[in-house]
Structures are given as C-alpha cells and as structure tokens.
Amino acid sequence: MQIIISPTKQMQVDTDTFLPQAQPQYLAEANQLLHQMQALDYTQAKTLWHCSDKLAQPNFARLATMDLTRALTPAILAYVGIQYQYMAPDLFTAPALAYIQANLRILSGFYGSLRPFDGIVPYRLELGAKLAVAESTNLYGFWGDKLYRSLDWRQPVVNLASQEYAKAIQHYLTPHDRFVTVVFGRLDEGKVKTRATLAKMARGQMVRYLAENNVTTIAGIKAFDHPDYHYTETLSDEDHLVFLEH
C-alpha cells in the first residue's frame, strides 16, 4: 500500500533532527524549474505565487542563491503546515519512520514526488501555478505522467492529498489501478461536505495512525481511531472511504 499527501506552503530548515537519506528522484527537473523561476522579475514571481509583498520579498530574494544540494532537510520535516503538525513525524518511533519511508509519498509542484527522507530546501511553487516551462504552459503539463509513474501500482494507492495534487495522478489512471480516496466530512442536506482545516488535521492524524499501527491493507484503514470521525460504510465504495464527523 502506498499513501500520497500534499505538501504545504509553510516550510522550515531542520538539519539536526534527522539526516536526509537520498536526493529527490526528480532533482534534475527541480533544477530546471528553479532556473525558470530565477528568470522571472519580482512582479512576475509575485503574480505566480499569488501572495503579498511580505511573503514574496523573502521568497524572491531566496531564489537568487537557492542551491538544491546544500542545507537539506528531510521532506517529512521540511513541511510544517496543519497536516504535518497533526502528523508530528518528529515524534515517530523507528518502525513508524521506516513505514512512512517505504509507503508515504509527498507530491510537489517543485520536486515532483518525494520520499519522506529525501533532502530538500524551502521553496514556493504550488502544482497549480501557471509557470510556463519548455513547451508546457503549466506544471501539470511539465510533470506529465511522472508523478503517476513514481508510484507502485502493484498495490493500492491511498489518496490523502488535496484535489490540486490528486488530479495529477487521476488523469493517468488505468482500469487496473486501485486508487482509493479518503474523505473526511460531514453530512449537509444529504451530501458529504469537507471542511478544509479539519480535513487537513485528520489526514495528518491518519498518516500517524497508519504508521504507528503498520497498516498495510485498505480494510485496516477503516479501523482508523479518531475522536471526531467514524468510518461510514453506507457512504463508502471501492474507490472512496468516507469518514463522517460525529
């Protein structure tokens, strides 16, 4: 079983807690994107990032000297958004860390597909960003099917990523692939609706649960123990596992 999650905009440098174990699989592509971004002027970069001057200025300054081979942080520690805070990977046991290295993949607009202990640097580039590279008008075109091919389709792939990242995989699915999306939501007029912040928290907690309990089957996911959500068989199907708020 493999699990995919999204990155976060918030990132940090942590070269002390754990050492990186490898370079990212698509480091050459990341360098290509870096060179393309370094060619942008400040206004173009700020437009690409859709952010304030307060955020754009330090990120633009960092671009000029960014080196993808130095001061590396393991990907699982580099991202510090809500999902990762609730996952709390810095508190994982050794078996849990081994589990995520084997089973967890982080999708990235900049690095493509990351293993938890791939060494990375802070960056700002979402997969949905409209950055023209080579013959591609956006990052979905640039990455093509590489994110899909980075996964092991001999086993089920569990989707805990946002739609922005999941659709880079879904576009290339074949009838033989097992792609199971976990949905956290609440019933509203008969429809399951997701509250983004709560769903991010639950996704992080689910990764922790799967790692600490060495869950390797879809059936095992259904036993996810959460104080605010319960698995709902009647709303689930082969491709979706629905967890509703109590």
Cα separation of 12 and 80, whole Å?
7
Structure-block tokens of residue 201? 């928290």
- Residue 190 banded pLDDT, cuts 50, 70, 90: confident
SS3 letters for 18-37? CCCCECCCCHHHHHHHHHHH
Q: What is the mean pLDDT of residues 231-243?
A: 96
- Residue 54 banded pLDDT, cuts 50, 70, 90: very high
With a pLDDT cut of 90, the percent of the chain lying above it is: 96
Q: What is the mean pLDDT of residues 99-107?
A: 98
Q: What is the per-residue pLDDT across 120-139, written as a single tens digit (0 to 9) for each?
A: 999 999 999 999 998 999 99
- Residue 180 banded pLDDT, cuts 50, 70, 90: very high
Nearest to 93 by CA among 214, 4, 7: 214
pTM of the entire predicted model:
0.96
Q: What is the mean pLDDT of residues 60-82?
A: 96
Half-sphere exposure for 205 (CA within 13 Å, toward CB): 14
The Cα-based distances of 129 to 65, 156, 191, 197 in angstroms read 22, 29, 30, 22
